[in-house]
């Protein structure tokens, strides 16, 4: 197990390096010069060259890349070109917001998707199955931002109630802080729940037709034991794989949901940074996201061993 | 039970199904076996017709302000109401279909070309080339789609062509994986070995033996990709990184004025939202049905969804 984790981490290194190169190069391809933009909007330095030197943007790009890598190794993500604030500090402030949103969304996806998928498979072609499948199709087709707007709009039309857009800090009012995530997380989680439900149902249907399940029934085991203990364990592995992929999807969806609900998370930060061509911020966010996703993939692989004892590392 | 005399006397209408062309029979069978897929196909065809004949269908131009009719609710004259500067929403939704269809089909075409080149070459050449290419694909796929595409659009700048280019580069990574897999399994077949033994060149093996056998996979991936691409385009326009404003795109209509005025004029947000959902629903259903009919092995997976 330990050697496996070490080997996986080693394999992740080249992937991370390539990713870091992509992360570094992409924002630099932005047409238009950030220095020009800064000079026009705010007089930061004497002239273009002076400002460029101050920001360290006058050296060759490979040199900038190596320096950047070196600083990352020391835990320094640089500072924002505009606000001169430490990117790491700003990320540390915003990451909890996005993490809360993401974890709650995944919880919604699991709590709705998997149980309904199981029920749907056990009572195949029943009433619940029909409604669950129809709802899943809708959930997959309606984009999160459309759902969000409808959810905000309908109460406003019917009862004149609009959600508040001011963000409550955790330190001020913990209950209100968590409460404001509920609606966005539900909306974000629904689409993933639909995918999980369809997959759980499909995999379970296949397993339920296998011989050992018939044996389990013949032994006179209760339905709960046959389904949850004998069948589900063998159906759940692809579901876990997809759950891992959903993390990436939810991270992307969070960008839009944060924008709509005014949550000061990383997505909002990223959109602002891209508009302002703030290289260090864009790089910092992208790098963090990549690290999160690579570690999720590792966790997913390790989860296989827990679920299925036949898998040994 | 039916003797020949009776058959001759049957009215014309009852014998007609025998003369229905093969294509129609296939379509009818598709409708019966996959009713949802058929609904999807109708939506897809409707969307394409709307896009192609937008200037005939729409009663007004997309940027034409009708004097004295700002933010009018839906009525006989303005089916979907008007927006904050008096433009007919129905006309704008119809023109918006052009963006979705153009971006959708162009992106999928380009994605397919990129993905096929990467996937087939990686499978065919193998070795170090395969390893390096697959690590790059790994890295590319470990970004969330929306984050990567925002960074790319920031690099390329807004505009229709850049949007298509960015979306297709993004989609190519995941799609190339599936195509590589299909190509690898095709190359296991004895006929590829036979072709090599007969002295066929690389080009001949690739174009005459490998490519034709991965075509089914490619077609299925493309159909399923369409819905995803349309969703991605609307999400990007919603964030303001899509098609620049004067031209209507559904995501953009929902985002800018649609969101600021939605409490006073809900129709400004509702109809573009419904249009996006219906289009994505149509492509998803049609793609799913096509996949089930063409290739039962590809039940799960496919392209990477974009949040």
Tens-digit pLDDT profile for residues B1-51:
445 555 555 555 555 555 667 778 877 877 777 777 888 888 888 889 888
Q: What is the mean pLDDT of residues B154-168?
A: 80
pLDDT at A143: 83
Q: Comparing C-alpha atoms, which of A306, A283, A290, A302 is closest to residue A64?
A: A283
Contact B139 A16 (CB under 8 A): yes
Indicate if the pLDDT at residue A175 is higher than 80.
no
How do residues A57-110 score in pLDDT, each as one tens digit?
A: 667 777 878 887 888 777 777 777 777 778 888 888 888 888 889 999 999 999
pLDDT of residue A47: 65
Assigned domain for B5 exists: no
DSSP B304: P
Indicate which of B147, B240, B260, B264 best probes the interface with A, i.e. most A CBs within 10 Å of its own CB.
B147
**Residue B16 covered by a domain:** no
CATH number for the domain spanning B296: value is: 1.10.3720.10
Q: How confident is the model at residue B92 (pLDDT cuts 50, 70, 90)?
A: confident
Q: Which two tokens stand for residue A103?
A: 């974890």
Give domain status of residue B113, yes or no. Answer: yes
Contact B280 A143 (CB under 8 A): yes
Long-range contacts of A29-34 (CB under 8 A, 24+ apart): A29/B155, A29/B156, A30/A277, A30/B154, A30/B155, A30/B157, A31/B155, A31/B156, A31/B157, A32/A277, A32/B157, A34/A81, A34/A276, A34/A277, A34/A278, A34/A279
Quick check: is B1 in a domain?
A: no
Q: What share of chain B is helix, strand, coil (3-state, %, to 5)?
A: 75, 0, 25
Per-residue pLDDT, B111: 92
| pLDDT tens-digit map of A100-140 | 899 999 999 999 989 999 988 888 778 888 888 888 888 88
What phi and psi values does residue B88 have, to the nearest 5 degrees?
-70, 120
| Biggest CA pair distance of chain B | 78
* Ramachandran bin of A13, using left for φ above 0, alpha for ψ from -120 to 50, beta for the remaining angles: alpha
In a domain, B68, yes or no: no
CA distance B282 to B36: 9
User: Is A289 an interface residue toward B (CB < 8 Å)?
Assistant: yes
A202 touches chain B (CB under 8 A): yes
Nearby residues of A158 by Cβ (< 8 Å), 6 or more positions away: none
| Residues from chain A contacting residue B155 (CB–CB below 8 Å) | 26-31
Closest CA to B92 of B84, B83, B101: B83
SS3 A308: coil
Q: What is the pLDDT of residue B284?
A: 83
- Reference A250, options A300, A186, A302, A303; nearest CA is A186
Exposure of A140 by Cβ count < 10 A (0-12 exposed, 13-18 middle, 19+ buried)?
A: buried
A152 contacts in chain B (CB < 8 Å): 262
Confidence of residue B307 (pLDDT cuts 50, 70, 90): very low
Domain housing B158: 35-63+79-302
Between these two residues, A104 and B126, which has the higher pLDDT value?
Answer: A104
Interface of A with B in 77-136 (CB under 8 A): none
Residues of chain A contacting residue B259, judged by C-beta atoms under 8 Å apart:
149
Residue B276 lies in a domain: yes
Count of domains forming chain B? 1
DSSP B18-37: GGS-HHHHHHHHHHHH-HHH
Q: Give yes or no for a contact between B236 and B160, defined as CB atoms under 8 angstroms apart.
A: no
Asked if residue B2 is part of any domain, the answer here is no
Using CA coordinates, name the residue in chain B closest to A196: B300
| Average pLDDT along chain A | 80
Q: Is residue B287 part of a domain?
A: yes
3-state secondary structure of B88: strand
Residue A276 token pair: 């302002």
Note the ipTM here: 0.74
What mean pLDDT is predicted for residues A229-248?
82
């Amino acid at each position: 197990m330990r050697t496996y984790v070490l080997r996986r981490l080693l394999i992740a290194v080249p992937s991370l390096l390539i990713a870091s190169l992509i992360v570094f190069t992409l924002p630099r391809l932005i047409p238009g010069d950030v220095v020009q933009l800064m000079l026009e909007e705010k007089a930061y330095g004497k002239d273009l060259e002076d400002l460029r030197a101050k920001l360290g943007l006058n050296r060759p790009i490979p040199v900038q890349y190596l320096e950047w890598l070196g600083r990352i190794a020391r835990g320094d993500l640089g500072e924002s070109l505009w606000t001169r604030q430490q990117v790491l500090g700003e990320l540390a402030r915003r990451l909890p917001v996005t993490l809360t949103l993401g974890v709650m969304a995944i919880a919604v996806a699991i709590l709705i998707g998997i149980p309904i998928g199981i029920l749907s498979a056990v009572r195949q072609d029943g009433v619940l199955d029909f409604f669950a499948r129809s709802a899943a199709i809708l959930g997959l087709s309606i984009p999160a931002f459309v759902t969000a707007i409808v959810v905000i709009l309908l109460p406003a039309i019917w009862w004149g109630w609009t959600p508040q857009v001011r963000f409550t800090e955790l330190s001020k009012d913990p209950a209100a802080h968590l409460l404001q995530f509920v609606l966005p997380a539900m909306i974000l989680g629904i689409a993933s729940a639909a995918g999980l439900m369809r997959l759980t149902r499909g995999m379970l249907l296949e397993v339920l037709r296998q011989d050992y399940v018939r044996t389990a029934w013949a032994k006179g085991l209760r339905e709960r034991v046959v389904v949850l203990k004998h069948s589900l364990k063998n159906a759940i592995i692809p579901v876990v794989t997809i759950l891992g992929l959903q993390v990436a999807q939810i991270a992307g969806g969070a960008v839009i949901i944060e924008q709509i609900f005014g949550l000061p998370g990383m997505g909002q930060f990223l959109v602002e940074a891209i508009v302002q061509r703030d290289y260090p911020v864009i790089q910092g966010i992208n790098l963090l996201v990549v690290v999160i996703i690579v570690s999720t993939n590792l966790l997913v692989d390790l989860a296989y061993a827990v679920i299925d004892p036949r898998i040994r590392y | 039970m039916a003797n020949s005399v009776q058959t001759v006397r049957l009215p014309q209408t009852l014998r007609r199904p025998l003369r229905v062309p093969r294509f129609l029979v296939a379509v009818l069978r598709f409708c019966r076996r996959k009713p949802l897929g058929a609904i999807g196909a109708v939506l897809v065809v409707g969307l394409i017709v709307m896009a192609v004949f937008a200037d005939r269908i729409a009663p007004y131009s997309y940027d034409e302000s009708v004097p004295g009719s700002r933010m009018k609710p839906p009525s006989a004259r303005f089916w979907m109401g008007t927006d904050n500067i008096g433009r007919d929403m129905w006309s704008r939704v119809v023109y918006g279909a052009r963006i979705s269809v153009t971006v959708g089909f162009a992106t999928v075409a380009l994605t397919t070309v990129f993905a096929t080149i990467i996937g087939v070459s990686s499978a065919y050449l193998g070795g170090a080339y395969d390893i390096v290419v697959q690590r790059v694909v790994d890295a590319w796929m470990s970004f969330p789609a929306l984050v990567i595409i925002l960074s790319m659009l920031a690099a390329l700048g807004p505009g229709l062509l850049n949007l298509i280019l960015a979306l297709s580069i993004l989609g190519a990574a995941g799609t190339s994986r599936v195509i590589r897999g299909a190509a690898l399994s095709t190359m296991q077949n004895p006929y590829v070995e036979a072709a090599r033994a007969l002295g066929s060149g690389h080009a001949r093996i690739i174009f005459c033996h490998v490519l034709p056998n991965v075509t089914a996979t490619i077609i299925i991936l493309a159909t399923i990709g369409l819905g995803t691409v349309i969703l991605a385009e609307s999400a990007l326009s919603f964030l303001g990184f899509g098609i620049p404003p004067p031209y209507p795109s559904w995501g953009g209509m929902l985002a800018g004025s649609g969101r600021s005025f939605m409490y006073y004029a809900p129709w400004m947000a509702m109809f573009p939202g419904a249009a996006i959902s219906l289009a994505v629903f149509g492509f998803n259903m049609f793609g799913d049905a096509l996949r089930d009919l063409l290739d039962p092995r590809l039940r799960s997976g496919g392209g990477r969804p974009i949040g």
